[in-house]
Protein backbone atom coordinates (compact mmCIF):
# COMPACT_ATOMS: atom_id res chain seq x y z
CA UNK A 1 0.00 0.00 0.00
CA UNK A 2 1.25 3.48 -0.94
CA UNK A 3 2.32 5.47 2.12
CA UNK A 4 0.22 8.38 0.80
CA UNK A 5 -2.89 6.26 0.28
CA UNK A 6 -5.72 6.96 2.72
CA UNK A 7 -6.12 4.12 5.21
CA UNK A 8 -6.82 3.76 8.92
CA UNK A 9 -3.12 3.06 9.56
CA UNK A 10 -1.94 6.09 7.59
CA UNK A 11 -4.54 8.35 9.19
CA UNK A 12 -3.19 7.34 12.60
CA UNK A 13 0.31 8.30 11.43
CA UNK A 14 -0.94 11.67 10.20
CA UNK A 15 -2.72 12.22 13.52
CA UNK A 16 0.49 11.61 15.48
CA UNK A 17 2.58 13.76 13.13
CA UNK A 18 0.10 16.61 13.43
CA UNK A 19 0.04 16.27 17.21
CA UNK A 20 3.83 16.38 17.48
CA UNK A 21 4.38 19.31 15.11
CA UNK A 22 3.88 22.97 16.09
CA UNK A 23 3.17 23.84 12.42
CA UNK A 24 1.06 22.23 9.72
CA UNK A 25 2.51 18.95 8.46
CA UNK A 26 2.87 18.27 4.75
CA UNK A 27 -0.15 16.60 3.11
CA UNK A 28 -0.70 16.05 -0.61
CA UNK A 29 -2.97 18.56 -2.31
CA UNK A 30 -5.86 16.13 -2.80
CA UNK A 31 -5.86 14.90 0.81
CA UNK A 32 -9.36 16.04 1.76
CA UNK A 33 -10.98 14.80 -1.46
CA UNK A 34 -9.36 11.37 -1.05
CA UNK A 35 -10.38 11.34 2.61
CA UNK A 36 -14.04 11.95 1.72
CA UNK A 37 -13.87 9.18 -0.91
CA UNK A 38 -12.36 6.77 1.64
CA UNK A 39 -15.12 7.45 4.18
CA UNK A 40 -17.72 7.02 1.43
CA UNK A 41 -16.25 3.62 0.52
CA UNK A 42 -16.44 2.50 4.15
CA UNK A 43 -20.12 3.51 4.31
CA UNK A 44 -20.86 1.60 1.08
CA UNK A 45 -19.07 -1.47 2.39
CA UNK A 46 -21.27 -1.35 5.48
CA UNK A 47 -24.42 -1.08 3.37
CA UNK A 48 -23.47 -4.15 1.31
CA UNK A 49 -22.24 -6.28 4.21
CA UNK A 50 -24.71 -9.03 5.10
CA UNK A 51 -22.85 -10.56 8.06
CA UNK A 52 -24.02 -8.98 11.31
CA UNK A 53 -20.65 -9.68 12.95
CA UNK A 54 -18.75 -7.95 10.14
CA UNK A 55 -21.23 -5.09 10.29
CA UNK A 56 -20.33 -4.51 13.93
CA UNK A 57 -16.61 -4.49 13.08
CA UNK A 58 -17.16 -2.11 10.18
CA UNK A 59 -19.24 0.25 12.33
CA UNK A 60 -16.44 0.36 14.90
CA UNK A 61 -13.88 1.03 12.16
CA UNK A 62 -15.97 3.82 10.68
CA UNK A 63 -16.59 5.41 14.08
CA UNK A 64 -12.89 5.28 15.02
CA UNK A 65 -11.85 6.58 11.61
CA UNK A 66 -14.21 9.56 11.87
CA UNK A 67 -12.82 10.37 15.32
CA UNK A 68 -9.27 10.41 13.92
CA UNK A 69 -10.38 12.53 10.96
CA UNK A 70 -12.06 15.04 13.28
CA UNK A 71 -8.96 15.19 15.48
CA UNK A 72 -6.63 15.75 12.52
CA UNK A 73 -8.87 18.53 11.18
CA UNK A 74 -9.22 20.23 14.57
CA UNK A 75 -5.45 20.21 15.10
CA UNK A 76 -4.89 21.76 11.67
CA UNK A 77 -7.78 24.19 12.21
CA UNK A 78 -6.17 25.43 15.44
CA UNK A 79 -2.83 25.99 13.69
CA UNK A 80 -4.54 27.87 10.85
CA UNK A 81 -6.36 30.15 13.30
CA UNK A 82 -3.14 30.82 15.23
CA UNK A 83 -1.35 31.59 11.95
CA UNK A 84 -4.10 34.08 11.04
CA UNK A 85 -3.76 35.77 14.44
CA UNK A 86 0.02 35.94 13.99
CA UNK A 87 -0.33 37.44 10.52
CA UNK A 88 -2.89 39.99 11.73
CA UNK A 89 -0.34 41.07 14.34
CA UNK A 90 2.33 41.57 11.64
CA UNK A 91 3.91 38.18 12.27
CA UNK A 92 5.34 35.85 9.63
CA UNK A 93 3.71 32.42 10.20
CA UNK A 94 4.83 29.34 8.26
CA UNK A 95 2.16 28.72 5.59
CA UNK A 96 4.06 26.40 3.24
CA UNK A 97 2.06 23.25 4.13
CA UNK A 98 -1.36 24.92 4.03
CA UNK A 99 -3.68 23.28 1.49
CA UNK A 100 -5.78 25.40 -0.90
CA UNK A 101 -9.05 24.74 0.96
CA UNK A 102 -7.30 25.64 4.23
CA UNK A 103 -5.94 28.81 2.63
CA UNK A 104 -9.56 29.88 2.04
CA UNK A 105 -10.21 29.52 5.78
CA UNK A 106 -6.99 31.39 6.61
CA UNK A 107 -7.84 34.28 4.27
CA UNK A 108 -11.40 34.56 5.59
CA UNK A 109 -10.32 34.56 9.24
CA UNK A 110 -7.48 36.99 8.54
CA UNK A 111 -9.91 39.36 6.85
CA UNK A 112 -12.23 39.32 9.86
CA UNK A 113 -9.35 39.80 12.28
CA UNK A 114 -8.03 42.78 10.33
CA UNK A 115 -11.53 44.24 10.18
CA UNK A 116 -11.95 43.82 13.93
CA UNK A 117 -8.50 45.21 14.73
CA UNK A 118 -9.09 48.22 12.49
CA UNK A 119 -12.39 48.97 14.21
CA UNK A 120 -11.22 48.45 17.81
CA UNK A 121 -7.62 49.64 17.66
CA UNK A 122 -7.99 52.50 15.19
CA UNK A 123 -11.51 53.92 15.13
CA UNK A 124 -12.18 53.47 18.86
CA UNK A 125 -8.75 54.76 19.81
CA UNK A 126 -9.16 57.79 17.61
CA UNK A 127 -12.59 58.51 19.06
CA UNK A 128 -11.73 58.03 22.72
CA UNK A 129 -8.16 59.24 22.85
CA UNK A 130 -8.07 61.68 19.90
CA UNK A 131 -5.07 59.96 18.36
CA UNK A 132 -4.00 61.81 15.21
CA UNK A 133 -2.75 60.19 12.02
CA UNK A 134 0.66 61.75 12.55
CA UNK A 135 1.15 59.68 15.71
CA UNK A 136 0.97 56.41 13.78
CA UNK A 137 4.40 55.25 12.64
CA UNK A 138 5.13 54.73 8.96
CA UNK A 139 5.83 51.02 9.56
CA UNK A 140 2.36 50.52 11.07
CA UNK A 141 0.76 52.19 8.06
CA UNK A 142 2.73 50.00 5.66
CA UNK A 143 1.73 46.84 7.56
CA UNK A 144 -1.99 47.68 7.37
CA UNK A 145 -1.80 48.45 3.63
CA UNK A 146 0.20 45.28 2.94
CA UNK A 147 -2.19 43.05 4.92
CA UNK A 148 -5.26 44.44 3.13
CA UNK A 149 -3.61 43.97 -0.27
CA UNK A 150 -2.80 40.35 0.51
CA UNK A 151 -6.47 39.70 1.30
CA UNK A 152 -8.05 41.71 -1.53
CA UNK A 153 -10.74 39.13 -2.34
CA UNK A 154 -14.24 39.87 -1.01
CA UNK A 155 -15.20 38.07 2.22
CA UNK A 156 -18.67 36.51 2.17
CA UNK A 157 -21.06 35.03 4.72
CA UNK A 158 -22.91 32.06 3.21
CA UNK A 159 -26.67 32.30 3.93
CA UNK A 160 -27.80 29.10 2.20
CA UNK A 161 -26.12 25.73 1.69
CA UNK A 162 -24.59 25.32 -1.78
CA UNK A 163 -23.87 21.99 -3.52
CA UNK A 164 -20.18 21.27 -4.03
CA UNK A 165 -18.70 23.03 -7.11
CA UNK A 166 -15.40 23.89 -8.75
CA UNK A 167 -14.82 27.63 -8.99
CA UNK A 168 -13.23 29.68 -11.74
CA UNK A 169 -10.03 29.52 -9.68
CA UNK A 170 -10.11 25.69 -10.15
CA UNK A 171 -10.62 25.20 -6.40
CA UNK A 172 -13.33 22.89 -5.07
CA UNK A 173 -15.92 24.54 -2.82
CA UNK A 174 -18.41 22.86 -0.46
CA UNK A 175 -20.20 25.75 1.24
CA UNK A 176 -22.69 25.47 4.08
CA UNK A 177 -24.90 28.04 5.76
CA UNK A 178 -22.97 30.43 8.07
CA UNK A 179 -19.59 29.56 6.44
CA UNK A 180 -17.27 32.53 5.96
CA UNK A 181 -15.25 32.38 2.74
CA UNK A 182 -12.93 34.59 0.72
CA UNK A 183 -12.99 34.08 -3.05
CA UNK A 184 -12.32 35.97 -6.32
CA UNK A 185 -14.69 38.84 -7.12
CA UNK A 186 -16.31 37.17 -10.15
CA UNK A 187 -17.31 34.16 -8.02
CA UNK A 188 -18.43 36.40 -5.16
CA UNK A 189 -20.68 38.35 -7.53
CA UNK A 190 -22.24 35.09 -8.74
CA UNK A 191 -23.12 33.99 -5.19
CA UNK A 192 -24.45 37.45 -4.31
CA UNK A 193 -26.68 37.49 -7.40
CA UNK A 194 -28.08 34.07 -6.44
CA UNK A 195 -28.87 35.46 -2.95
CA UNK A 196 -26.96 32.65 -1.24
CA UNK A 197 -24.34 34.88 0.39
CA UNK A 198 -23.84 38.33 1.86
CA UNK A 199 -20.73 40.47 1.61
CA UNK A 200 -19.02 41.24 4.91
CA UNK A 201 -18.21 44.92 4.61
CA UNK A 202 -15.22 46.67 6.12
CA UNK A 203 -16.04 49.32 8.68
Alpha helices in 21-51 (DSSP H): 31-48
Crossing angle of the two packed helices 31-48 and 52-88, in degrees rounded to 10:
160
The pLDDT of residue 199 is: 81
At residue 34, does pLDDT exceed 70?
yes
Per residue in 120-154, pLDDT (tens digit) is 877 665 555 554 444 445 555 455 445 444 456 77
Alpha-carbon gap, residue 170 to 176, rounded angstroms? 19
The structure's pTM equals: 0.58
What pLDDT, on a 0 to 100 scale, did the predictor assign at position 183?
79
Is residue 62 classed exposed, middle or buried when 0-12, 13-18 and 19+ CB atoms within 10 A define those classes? middle
Tell me the percentage of the chain whose pLDDT exceeds 70: 81
The answer to whether 162 and 139 are in contact (CB under 8 A) is no
Q: State residue 111's pLDDT score.
A: 92
pLDDT score, position 69: 92
pLDDT tens per residue, range 39-70: 999 999 999 988 989 999 999 999 999 999 99
Cβ neighbourhood burial of 53 (10 Å; 0-12, 13-18, 19+): exposed
Amino acid sequence: MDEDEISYKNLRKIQQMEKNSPVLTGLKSGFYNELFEYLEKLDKRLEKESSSQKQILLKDEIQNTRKIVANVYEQREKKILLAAVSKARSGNPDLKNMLDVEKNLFDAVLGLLLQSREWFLENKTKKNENVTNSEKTESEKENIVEEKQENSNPVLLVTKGIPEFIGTDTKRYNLRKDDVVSMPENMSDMLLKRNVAEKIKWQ
